[in-house]
A = this chain, B = another copy of it.
Amino acid sequence: MALTQLAVVSTAVDILQQFGLADLSMRRLAKELDVQVGALYWHVKNKQELLAQVAAKLLNTPQLSVNADDFSTPADTILQLSRRLYLALLPIQDSPEVIEVATAMQATELSPVLQLRELLEASGLSAENARHGQQLLLNHILGSVAFRQNLVQLDVDAPLADGFDWGLQRAVAGLVS
């Protein structure tokens, strides 16, 4: 396999899924690709940019989009998209950190996050308030995933009712009403 940017990012995703962010080092990545560390820097600018591309690969998938026509109300569509995001990120170790790096750099577009804002605007919010609502929902999704993943790490047996969905419903109720 030729060492391309795609190969670097894909292997990074693999390491993240299997071992978590702590094991996703440039050196470990190089080893996995049978290449010297410096070689990676020909294909990615630095680790931050790599993580942003990893985040994009995780989120920019058709699995993570909703069709507004499939739901009765805009609020329902927002709920469904939020739940899909939560459930998609939950099994990926340290995914919240990775997504935060990507949104912080705003170098890459994360389409489900964009869709969240569009749905809020479609439900009657101003462009500005839709942005703020997007922030509230994203904060809750990422924060809840991080909290849940920390519980697993501490061997606390995770209850099904982890409060994400209840909080989500109250937040959406507060946003569109």
Contacts and interface: CB of A to CB of B under 8 A. Distances in A.
Q: Is the interface of A mostly helix, strand, loop or mixed?
A: helix
Contacts of A153: 104
Interface residues of A, number: 34
Contacts of A83: none
A144 interface: yes
A20 interface: no
Interface string A114-147: 0000000000000011011101101110111011
A130 B171 CA distance: 14
Nearest to A143: B139
5 contacts: A104-B153, A135-B164, A136-B170, A139-B147, A170-B175
